[in-house]
Amino acid sequence: MADSTAIGWIPLASKSLPAPHFSYSPLVMAGSFIYVSGLVGLDPDHGGLVSGGLEAETRQILINLRGLCEDLGVSLAQLMLVRIYCADFAQFNVINKLWETYFRGHTPPARTSVGVAALPLGALVEMEFQFAIKP
């Protein structure tokens, strides 16, 4: 198996994200892009899923995203793509409401929204992000 750096991508770290529960790289940089693995509403202090349902989980993901941006020195203006997976698509309006507040004053990124049957750790929402950066 090839080393990731030998094929052109490197793992990154962020103190704003909880440690992964499974074996994967939460953040990787390849060329002019930073890829963020799907985030669920985990509290970075204790690593568990926040309580309070879809709204609380969505809010925590966006809080973690804000901290991640600070850690990596990137801005929302560099966020080019978000994929949202929702376990209860009938309540997607809850996500949209928080989304509108979070991106107020910013050009929102491209976005894909997908209804799914289940998510890791019993989460109700998961988001993955892609940033464009200058190499």
Containing domain of residue 31, as a range?
A: 4-132
Instruction: Report yes or no: 118 and 87 within 8 Å, Cβ to Cβ.
Output: yes
Q: List the end-to-end C-alpha distance of the chain, in Å, as a whole number.
A: 26
Give me the helices (H) in the chain, please. 53-72, 92-102
pLDDT band at 1 (very low <50, low <70, confident <90, very high): very low
Q: Judging by beta carbons within 10 Å of its beta carbon (0-12, 13-18, 19+), is residue 77 exposed, middle or buried?
A: exposed
pLDDT band at 25 (very low <50, low <70, confident <90, very high): confident
Instruction: Report yes or no: 97 and 125 within 8 Å, Cβ to Cβ.
Output: no
Total number of residues shown for the chain: 135
Taking only the tens place, the pLDDT of each residue in 36-81 is 999 999 998 888 999 999 999 999 999 999 999 999 999 999 999 9
41, 62, 85 from 103: Cα distances, Å? 18, 10, 18
- Domain tally, the chain: 1
Q: What is the pTM of this model?
A: 0.91
pLDDT band at 16 (very low <50, low <70, confident <90, very high): confident
CATH of the domain at 35: 3.30.1330.40
On the question of pLDDT at 4 being above 80, the answer is: no
Taking only the tens place, the pLDDT of each residue in 91-134 is 999 999 999 999 999 899 999 999 999 999 999 999 999 999 97
On the question of pLDDT at 6 being above 70, the answer is: no
Q: How far apart are CA 121 and CA 123, in angstroms?
A: 5
